[in-house]
Chain A
Amino acid sequence: MEYLKFTPRLARDWKNALSHSSKSEPYIFKRVMDSMNESQLESKLWIIQELIKLNIKPKKVAILAGWFAQYIVPLLYDNFDSIEWIANYEIDRDVKDLSYKFNKKYFENEKYGVEIKNIMFDIMPKQWDTDTIINCACEHMYPMWKFRDLNKHVQENPLYILQSSNDDQHDDHINCVQSEDELIVQSKINHVMYSGSKVLANKSTRFMVIGR
């Protein structure tokens, strides 16, 4: 998979989302633009490519710190018939409405939800039912072993798809790594199914680990 299926329906939803952002919430418009750059799409396509190679069939997906999730949600649904539900856990309250606009098709069909939650502090509910956890923002937070430890009583060994970066130029990149191995260690992934790195269009190196 080297592209996103930009269907007429997706075009309509994205146009509405961008229009709303630029008119009603101009203070977040730059962030929306940042979330849609070339590197963002590259890193999400990379996930899809590797999941297909590994023949993984995700069902219930949790995205941690997924931002507006305008790339990853349609990419997952378009490539995996197995997916039943995607949840996005974010700390930024401005994300919710706009993410629903971008992903209106999935939101309206009860296939996508956003929950405002600090995932490093707030434990997931006992009935939390997810088999695949995606975090493309590991550089923005404390090492993922903490999340795993916090939720060890509510998870049954889910698949983790983790990405991080060596790009330490940004104040909010509080946990950059220098290799995929460092990401494996700090996430305490025991069974590594895939690990690799990719130099993105913005010249930073992105690392990805898939495993349990």
Chain B
Amino acid sequence: MNNILCMNWGDKYDDSYVEKLKEQCEENCSVPFKFWCFTDRPDKDWHIPIPKTLDKFYDKERDFFWAYRKCYMFRYGQMPDDIRWFPDNSKFLFLDLDVIIHQDLKYFFELPNDKPWIVRGWWNDILTVKKNYAKYKSTPLNSSAILWKKGEMMPVWEHVNKHAELIFFTYPSLDNYFTHHWYDPWNEDDGFLRGFPQGDIYSWYKGNVFPDDMEAKKLRKECKVCLFNNSSEINDVEELKSLWSI
């Protein structure tokens, strides 16, 4: 069973973004799948309420953008007492709301599933990643797209749940946490997480592959997915909306 997940909380993105992502998935996935949205405003049968158990560990005053709510996904469907039951061979593809899908998502569900996959931002210079590793900056990973099979990401959930206060204090982002605990920039094939291959997923604002294909704000329809996060631009939402029609 293939599942596509997204997540929506707060007020940056209204429900139209969820509907747009769902529509994009339906138009660009040639294998059967179920679409789910973790949301703080559940009102549909494919909506899943976002839990709040980690909220108390998040310190707003530190001003870290910590997408810790994504960690709940790694638990759901994997606990014996959960109301949503997924078969053991279920696969989960998480996508951020601010993406544009160019190619058939079937590709992701057919990738080898011996390890979870995550966006390896190939637009990052790996030397900068290593240089800034201990400074908690320049993460090579991007959690805008994650692929795993049932149970695979449970160790991540358990680690976050056990050390939430320490983790939220130390790492400025979920991606940074992933880089320090579940990936190895010095041996990129050895980590718990594996990066999607070069050319699969690119960044609208940062480019595709360092150093040769780094032009920003360029559509690359030969790639599977375009990401819009990591933007420092205030009109990024409007820019994404304008590109939905392309």
A142 to B166, CA, bound (A): 7
Contact A120 to B135, CB < 8 A, known contacts A27-B127, A27-B128, A27-B130: no
A91: chain B residues at CB < 8 Å are: 133-134, 180
Contact A172 to B170, CB < 8 A, known contacts A27-B127, A91-B180, A93-B186: no
A27 to B125, CA, bound (A): 11
In the complex, B77 has a CB within 8 A of chain A: no
In the complex, A49 has a CB within 8 A of chain B: no
B136 touches A172 (CB 8 A): yes
**Which residue from B133, B136, B170 sits with its C-beta under 8 Å from A120?**
B170
B134 touches A92 (CB 8 A): yes
Select from chain A the residue with minimum beta-carbon distance to B162: A121
Contact A31 to B131, CB < 8 A, known contacts A120-B166, A142-B169: yes
Contact A94 to B130, CB < 8 A, known contacts A120-B166, A141-B170, A174-B169: yes
In the complex, B172 has a CB within 8 A of chain A: yes
A172 to B132, CA, bound (A): 10
B130 touches A172 (CB 8 A): no
In the complex, B137 has a CB within 8 A of chain A: yes
B131 touches A171 (CB 8 A): no
**Which residue from B135, B136, B166, B172 sits with its C-beta under 8 Å from A146?**
B166
Q: Which of B127, B128, B135 gathers most chain A CB within 10 Å?
A: B135
A91 to B128, CA, bound (A): 16
In the complex, A118 has a CB within 8 A of chain B: yes
A52 to B130, CA, bound (A): 38
A94: chain B residues at CB < 8 Å are: 130-131, 133
Per-residue A-contact encoding for B157-187, CB less than 8 Å = 1, 0 else = 0000001001001101000000011000010
A180 to B128, CA, bound (A): 34
B130 touches A171 (CB 8 A): no
Contact A121 to B166, CB < 8 A, known contacts A171-B136, A172-B137: yes
Per-residue B-contact encoding for A190-203, CB less than 8 Å = 1, 0 else = 00000000000000
A172 touches B166 (CB 8 A): no
**Majority secondary structure of chain A interface residues (helix, strand, loop or mixed):** loop
Task: Report the minimum CB–CB distance from A117 to chain B (whole Å).
Answer: 12
**Which residue from B130, B135, B180, B186 sits with its C-beta under 8 Å from A118?**
B180
**Majority secondary structure of chain B interface residues (helix, strand, loop or mixed):** helix
A140: chain B residues at CB < 8 Å are: 134
A31 to B172, CA, bound (A): 21
A28 to B133, CA, bound (A): 11
A152 to B136, CA, bound (A): 27
B137: chain A residues at CB < 8 Å are: 171-172
A141 to B136, CA, bound (A): 11
A146 to B170, CA, bound (A): 12
Task: Report the minimum CB–CB distance from B14 to chain A (whole Å).
Answer: 32
Task: Report the minimum CB–CB distance from A21 to chain B (whole Å).
Answer: 12
B128: chain A residues at CB < 8 Å are: 27
Select from chain B the residue with minimum beta-carbon distance to A28: B131
A172 touches B135 (CB 8 A): yes
A118 to B130, CA, bound (A): 16
A92 to B170, CA, bound (A): 15
A146 to B166, CA, bound (A): 9
Task: Report the minimum CB–CB distance from A150 to chain B (whole Å).
Answer: 10
Select from chain B the residue with minimum beta-carbon distance to A67: B134
B170: chain A residues at CB < 8 Å are: 120, 141-142, 174
A93 to B186, CA, bound (A): 8
**Which residue from B131, B133, B163, B186 sits with its C-beta under 8 Å from A121?**
B163
Interchain Cβ contacts under 8 Å between A and B, 12 examples: A27-B130, A28-B130, A92-B133, A93-B133, A94-B130, A120-B170, A170-B135, A171-B136, A171-B137, A171-B172, A172-B135, A172-B136
Q: Rank and list the top 7 A-B pairs by shortest CB-CB distance, nearest first.
A: A172-B135, A27-B127, A92-B134, A93-B186, A27-B131, A142-B169, A142-B166
Contacts A31-B131, A171-B136, A172-B137 supplied; 8 other A-B pairs, CB < 8 Å: A27-B130, A28-B131, A90-B134, A93-B133, A94-B133, A118-B180, A118-B181, A142-B169
